Amino acid sequence: MSPDARIAVDAMGGDEGLATMLGGVAQARRRFDGLRFFLVGDEEQIRAGLANHPNLTAASEIVHAPDVVASDAKPSQAIRRAKTTSMGVAIDLVKQGRAGAAVSSGNTGALMAMAKLALRTMPGIDRPALAAMLPSLGETDTVMLDLGANTECDARNLIQFAVMGAAWARTTLDLASPRVALLNIGTEDLKGTDKVREAAAMLKAATHLPLTFSGYIEGNSISRGDVDVVVCDGFSGNIALKTAEGTARFVADLLKRAFRSSVRSKIGFLISRPATELLRGHLDPNNHNGAVFLGLNGLVVKSHGGATERGVAHAIGVAAKMVRDDLTRRITDDLAHFEGEVAA
């Protein structure tokens, strides 16, 4: 994959509509030097929308797709219309090698199903996983996977997630041997399900993997920055991720209520506003938008359905960084080097 490959953007997906997607692409274009795009969707609408973004026109090629995947479409329905939908055509551009990555804010289940069908799973990987970089108190973000692609996982799946997550941390966070932990309900050896314990035993034994196995991690430590990669099945991972989002919003709401509770605290709030704005920025999901399907022969980034322009720009930035780091090849190399260990 050429490092200056274009990013294919599903311009029609997401709850916020075409204008937000184009606004996000335009922001990404300004923020990341030299990025170029395929804008996939209704040609006429995209052309009209581009009128507001003169900086995009030269950097973009419009690829027409007449249909859109509905937000409530079942994956099985969506797959049948892969060739005519903006989501399907964006993924196809990756498959053809014309785009380095696809970005969509559309239906997650459909995106996963289409991407899997079109790009196929990497050799050595049984199931792709949905991964994201989460904010932490540490020096860098924390990679977490699976976040919902696989409701149930066996020990072998978890090992493969560990290798893929570590490869992402090595390339994107520039860590030689990322610290990897399995999400569990305690840190003692006996805790958890058979699958988690089996995966722990395998990771402990596989001493040549390009990662440092840190044992188990509990939910309260995910954001502490003690480890670089948190590995879990898609059910508990999705619940942990959404609970973290919900709790952050809950605390912010309580804080708002507290600041409004008296004139005195309102004044204090106004004075300390730059500080609370800093916090708001740090917690805003748009500043962490962009989950990645790891384990496919091609890069696909899922942007949140309700992402703002800033969120879309961030997701595109995630995609661009992965393209430049040649992430797919890095993961393939890791898997090939350590195939014996991973298979064992």
Q: For a copy of itself, how many residues bind (rule: CB under 8 A)?
A: 62
Least distance (Å) between residue 270 CB and a copy of itself: 7
Cβ at position 267, least distance to a copy of itself in Å: 6
15 binds a copy of itself (CB under 8 A): no
Instruction: Rule CB under 8 A: say whether 201 interacts with a copy of itself.
Output: no
Applying CB under 8 A, among 137, 139, 208, 340 the residue interacting with a copy of itself is 137
CA distances from 54 to 28, 40, 59 (A): 14, 18, 10
Interaction mask 140-169, a copy of itself, x per CB under 8 A: --------x--xx-----------------
Piece in contact with a copy of itself (CB under 8 A), picked from 13-21, 156-164, 228-236, 335-343: 228-236
**Contact present, 63 and 89 (Cβ < 8 Å):** yes
- The answer to whether 287 contacts a copy of itself (rule: CB under 8 A) is no
Q: List, in order, residues 6 or more apart from 208 with CB less than 8 Å away.
A: 338, 341
Name residue, tokens 């939908």.
85
Strands laid side by side in the 37-41 sheet:
60-64, 37-41, 6-10, 99-104, 299-302, 291-294, 129-134, 142-145, 229-231, 179-183, 212-217
User: Helix 18-31 crosses helix 43-50 at what angle (to 10 degrees)?
Assistant: 50
323 lies in the site for a copy of itself, by CB under 8 A? no
CA angle (202, 152, 304) in 5-degree steps: 110
Q: Strands 6-10, 99-104: parallel, antiparallel or unpaired by DSSP? A: parallel
**Nearer Cβ to a copy of itself, position 97 or 268?**
268
Contact yes or no for 125/295 (Cβ under 8 A): yes
- Does 71 participate in binding a copy of itself (rule CB under 8 A)? no
According to the binding rule CB under 8 A, does residue 219 interact with a copy of itself?
yes
Residue from 77, 140, 221, 332 in contact with a copy of itself (CB under 8 A): 221
DSSP β-bridge partners for residue 217: 183
Binding of residue 70 to a copy of itself (CB under 8 A): no
304 torsion bin: left (phi>0), alpha (psi -120 to 50), beta (else): beta
Binding site for a copy of itself (CB under 8 A): 72, 74, 136-137, 148, 151-152, 183, 185, 188, 190, 192-193, 218-224, 232, 234-236, 238-255, 258-259, 261-262, 264-265, 267-276, 278-279, 282-283
